[in-house]
Structure 1
Amino acid sequence: MGRLRAAGRKKEKELAAALAMGADRSTWTTKDVGEYNKLVLTSDPLSFDTMKTVVVRSLRFSPLHTLRGLRSYLKAMEFSERLQLEAAAFDERAEGTEFRIPFFVFQGDSDVLTPPEPARRFFDEVTAPVKEFALIRNASHFASFRHPDRFLDLMLTVVRPAITAQPVAR
């Protein structure tokens, strides 16, 4: 809300929509959850820049993707919006915090959609044979897109050894 207010007239319509949703998330519709997520991401300069310059650009200009593939990606995003209400109501603690498999949380240190502090609190409650929490610096919700080199490094040096029991040869 602070970012929308700070934007003033430029984000007046978005601020009104956010206020109309109300603070009680249990009353939100699927559309409200999707709109909230969009407002959070587009009002945060780092997240918005990452979406525009990294995520979309990589899909548009990748030799591995076609325009049809991009259209499919956007349809998939549209489909996943229908699941957002359920996802927003999901209580990860109700599913348990004891795992018999490795558990990893890698995310952006500036994630505004899934803030690092609650993610860290949940991570601290988890019991697992191997677990690791890492913040990717100067990244938001799309950390693996913003800094694929750092994400790949974590996958190779932390995840791979934990699931294969073999360290990476360097």
Structure 2
Amino acid sequence: MVAGWVFISVIGLVLLFVGFVWWHSPGKTPPIISNDGKPLPNSIATLEAVEINGSTQWLLIRGHDQTKPVLLFLHGGPGLPEISLLSGHELEKEFVVVNWEQRGSGKSYGAGKSDRSFTVDTFVDDAADVSRWLSRQFNQPKIYLLAHSWGTFLGVLTVKKYPELFRAFFSISQIARQLEAEQISYDWVLQQARKRYANRVVRRLEKQGRPPYPPEAWLAYLTWQREVVARYRGGMYRANFFPFFIRSILLCREYTLADKVRYALGAQKSVRLLWPQVVATDLFETAPVLHVPYYLFQGVHDYQTPYPIARRYFDQLQAPRKQLFTFLESAHSPIFEEPDLFRQGFNEAMQRELTTAAADD
């Protein structure tokens, strides 16, 4: 009898949880509201399905004033959209912020049916196609590009191939030479595990061995290794990033319940097919020169895209203008870990761009 009541209680809690998530899953973005409680005049807040490079992909477009400059955001992962963290961000006050759900990810899960389309070159062309669509839609000849993690890798290659589309590139946690980054991350996690006497983690890492790995082995490794990085504060310095991020997905109003169920599936496929290409690419050699201003925002405690490698790439990169913003209390996500300092640095970079543009005119 007791076992029966326990079973019923568990089922009830599961149903309650599913109902709670469903309630927070309308698949719509809320309007931007003025002080009188009405939609702000001339604001924009839309979720749009757009034909991009032969497939339907989704864009979240939000801004207090749709005549402001367009800022396209390239999310991390690959396969980990960040609209759950960026919808309603302060950047919407000064930009039309566009969160693009990349091929096979989030709301664009259906655009990832063909494995053959999961090449870095395809994603670069996708990014260019999105940028052209935005330029036409908002009547702006060039847009700004903001990227995080995997998005920085995609962003560098996109800016390199299509510099005419962009005014400036803002990079958060730059991927540059990711095989070396994975070796640093492996060594650091092993060191931290030994300090904590986490013998199971130590044994698993020693059995795994130091990178590189065969292409088919990266997904399984990263699935558990990144969780340990987060636990040891190499993903977010003052908190564990995973609960923070998962909660944001569950409460994200822009996703339907089906979007949330498919989210992890899209991420797994994206990593499985794209990560071997990332670790096989060295941006020091592939993209030593960019013809667009470059601004880097990097946390010193980052053990996913470690600071020393990003700093070396910044130092050797040739660009019309460049500037590095170092975050002493951040790991992999300074935009969320030190938001005030990030906004200060971003505003400084934008002021530099606007001053230069005014002087050129």
> Fold conserved (TM > 0.5)?
yes
Picking from 125, 128, 148, the partner of 2:316 is 125
2:193 counterpart letter in structure 1? L
Deviates more, 1:137-146 or 1:25-34: 25-34
1:12 corresponds to which residue? Answer: 199
Counterpart in the other structure of 1:84:
275
- Where structure 1 has 5 or more consecutive residues not aligned to the other structure, the ranges are none
Counterpart Cα distance in 2 of 1:34 and 1:163: 40
Check conservation: 1:110, 1:139, Cα contact below 8 A: yes
What's the CA shift for 1:104?
A: 1.9
The Cα of 1:53 is off from its aligned counterpart by 5.0
Q: Could you tell me how far 1:68 is from its partner in structure 2?
A: 4.3
Cα pair 2:235 2:304 within 8 Å, conserved: no
Question: Per residue, is there more helix in 1 or in 2?
Answer: 1
Per mean C-alpha deviation after superposition, the further-off stretch among 62-71 and 51-60 is 62-71
- The 1:46–1:113 alpha-carbon spacing in structure 2 relative to 1, beyond 3 Å, is closer
Aligned positions of 1:101-116 closer than 5 A: 101-116=292-307
> 348, 354, 360: which one pairs with 1:157?
348
Instruction: Please state if 1:47 is matched with 2:235.
Output: yes
Of residues 91, 94, 97 in structure 1, which corresponds to 2:288?
Answer: 97
Map residues 56-71 of structure 1 onto 2, 5 A cutoff.
Answer: 56-64=246-254, 67-71=257-261
Task: Give yes or no for contact 2:219–2:268 (8 Å, CA) kept in 1.
Answer: no
Q: CA deviation at 1:55?
A: 2.6
Does 1:3 pair with 2:160?
no
Q: Give TM-score scaled by structure 2 length.
A: 0.40
**Percent identity between the aligned chains?**
21
Alpha-carbon contact 2:234-2:332 (below 8 Å) kept: no
Gaps of at least 5 residues in structure 2 are 1-189
Deviates more, 1:139-148 or 1:127-136: 139-148
Task: Note if contact 1:47-1:141 (Cα within 8 Å) is conserved in structure 2.
Answer: yes
The one-letter code of the counterpart of 1:145 is F
* Change in CA separation of 1:135 and 1:68 when aligned onto 2, cut-off 3 Å: farther
Asked if residue 134 in structure 1 is aligned to residue 322 in structure 2, the reply is no
Distance 1:92 1:30, change over 3 A: same
CA contact 1:108–1:135 (8 Å) conserved in 2: yes
Distance between the aligned counterparts of 2:266 and 2:351, measured in 1?
29
1:38-96 Cα shifts (integer Å, max 9, x gaps): 15523423636241453333333455555544434433332332122221222011213
